[in-house]
């Protein structure tokens, strides 16, 4: 479990990321007691909303 709150900024790397790309993202909602979070990211071209597994950097 990671202590995180809605509105907090996180770094998101897509699961199928082969180019080392990462995005600044904001947490929308914390799920499963901090194991996952619904996030919102903007990649310069479009908005992305995803459910992401949370891990310590």
Q: What's the pLDDT tens digit per position in 3-42?
A: 899 999 998 888 777 776 778 899 999 999 889 999 999 8
* Residue labelled with tokens 């907090």: 8
pTM over 0.95: no
User: What pairs with residue 53 in β-bridges?
Assistant: 36
Give the number of other CB atoms < 10 A from CB of residue 20: 6
What does the domain layout of the chain look like in residue ranges? Answer: 9-53
Q: How many whole angstroms separate alpha carbon 19 and alpha carbon 5?
A: 29
Judge whether 27 and 17 are in contact, CB under 8 Å. no
**pLDDT reported for residue 20:** 67
């Amino acid at each position: 479990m990671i202590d995180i709150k809605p509105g907090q900024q996180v770094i998101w790397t897509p699961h199928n990321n082969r180019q080392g790309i990462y995005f600044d993202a904001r947490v929308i909602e914390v799920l499963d007691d901090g194991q996952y979070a619904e996030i919102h990211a903007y990649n310069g071209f479009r908005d992305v909303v995803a459910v992401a597994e949370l891990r310590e950097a």
